[in-house]
Amino acid sequence: MNHTIVSVAVAALLTASTAALVTASPARFVRQTGVASIYYPWDSGGRIAANQEVIDHNAYTAAHRTFPLGSFVEVTNLENQRRIVVRINDRGPFVGGRVLDLVAGAATALGSNGLTKVQLVTLDPTRCSFNERFGRVLWTDLMRPRSGCQ
């Protein structure tokens, strides 16, 4: 009986700590510049991301080494100035000199076909005007200033 109580308590602690990790937003805004790449472009699906969801190549998601899982990042392609918002759901890239791994859908929307120089800005989802539909993060109004988001 004591084993059951201990098991339930441990499971509750693990669930609570995992939820805090996944839903954490950055305490301060971080800007980072570097190279983004496309990861697993040949994969037909089924790979599991660090946050335990299946990697969807049509979604606007990405892998970063240190940003909290579940955080939102505005990515700007410094070659063509296209901007998108991605949700961090995986860890990587594990190749030196790269700051972000994008799924194919996000890379296409950004105008990238391989390696692209980008600027990253972490966003606070409680202070920004965007929503997530159909696996893509969309600004609700591109013309409206996003004060507090940058």
Mean pLDDT, residues 25-30 = 60
**Two tokens at 111?**
């105008």
Report how far residue 10's alpha carbon sits from residue 18's, in angstroms, rounded to the nearest whole number: 12
Cα–Cα distance, 147 to 97 (Å, whole number)? 31
When the candidates are 2.40.40.10, 3.40.1360.10, 3.30.2130.10, 3.40.50.80, the CATH number that belongs to 2-139 is 2.40.40.10
Each domain of the chain, given as residue ranges in start order, spans: 2-139
pTM across the whole model: 0.69
SS3 assignment for 119-140: EEEEECCCCCCEEEECCEEEEC
pLDDT number for residue 149: 55
pLDDT at 118: 97
Q: What's phi and psi for 93, nearest 5 deg?
A: -75, 155
